[in-house]
Amino acid sequence: MSVASISCRVTGGNGGIGLETARALARHGARVILAGRSRTKLDQAVEAVRAASPGARTDTLVLDLSDLSSVRDAATRIAETETVDLLLNNAGVMNLPERRTTHDGLEMTVGTNHLGHFAFDAQVWPAVRRSSAPRVVTVSAIAARWPTGRLDDLMSEKSYRAMGAYAKSKRANIVYTLELARHTASGPVEALVVHPGSAMTNLQRHGTGALSRVVTPIAARLLMGSAEGAAWPSLYAATSPHVQSGRFIGPAGRDQTSGTPEPAKLPTGADDPAEGRRLWAASERLTGVPFDVEAGAAG
């Protein structure tokens, strides 16, 4: 399928990797809908995309992934009338200093990065199934490999560590995507998950304290690439004819922080079907949203 013929939804499209992904897709002719919480920031992002690509087919969708009523309202409008060829789950929060909860009482990091996307995907699914060759691409992170990413205390009710919650959310992104790939193995949906390497984006805005103020600028200079470069894995997974559903894609460079996208090593046990089934069931229970992968299927 030509990029110029596809319709895309990019969550977190108003900044960082999401904006760079949207900018590249729009530049090649795709119709791109940028989704995010702030109408003002979305409008500014659309202006930036159109400034780089006059005539770009770009629009906005107000979507707060930490509020399931916002998720439902946004998804319902799309599910009823739209066709979505590419659903790109990119938005996220990171390093919240204290345990916070979403509007619905879910731990904020997992509630936004995984559960909000799970509920959005489930409810927008009829629009995805109207496409002849749909793809769902979810953005994870290297943090998914950390031991603190275990999913046994998904809501961090026993203990909370800021980057531990982030690692859980990023492992959940992978486990969810692989389970979605199993659910859709007969086609036509392809589900892929990526990690972008390292880039300085507004995800780092929650870092606090003297150590963060010292380490973050050094890491930015020595280790972290640009948001534009970090968008490569997402763009590769979204458009390459050579990727397969259920693959984990990341940059091939040193320590996988940057470089040409290629298949990446999964976190240990992330491809365990039992863990996939447990997370899927927990996600339906916590969000109150059933995910019927046959919804909207032709015939």
**Res. 255: pLDDT tops 70:** no
Residues contacting 174, CB < 8 A, separation 6+: 138, 140, 144, 193, 248, 266, 267, 270
Residue 220 or 244, more confident = 244
Return the pLDDT at 141. 95
Give the residue-averaged pLDDT of 225-241.
Answer: 86
Q: Please give the mean pLDDT across all residues of the chain.
A: 89
Specify which residues 135 forms β-bridges with. Answer: 86, 190
Contact 43, 263 (CB under 8 A): no
Q: Which two tokens stand for residue 181?
A: 């790939």
Helix (H, G, I), strand (E, B), or coil: what is residue 6? Answer: coil
Q: Which two tokens stand for residue 201?
A: 């984006």
166 is known as an active-site residue: yes
Render pLDDT for 144-189 as a digit per residue (tens, 0 to 9): 999 999 999 999 999 999 999 999 999 999 999 999 999 999 999 9
Catalytic entry in 160, 166, 176, 236: 166
pTM: 0.89
d(Cα 32, Cα 8) in Å, to the nearest integer? 5
Helix (H, G, I), strand (E, B), or coil: what is residue 112? Answer: helix
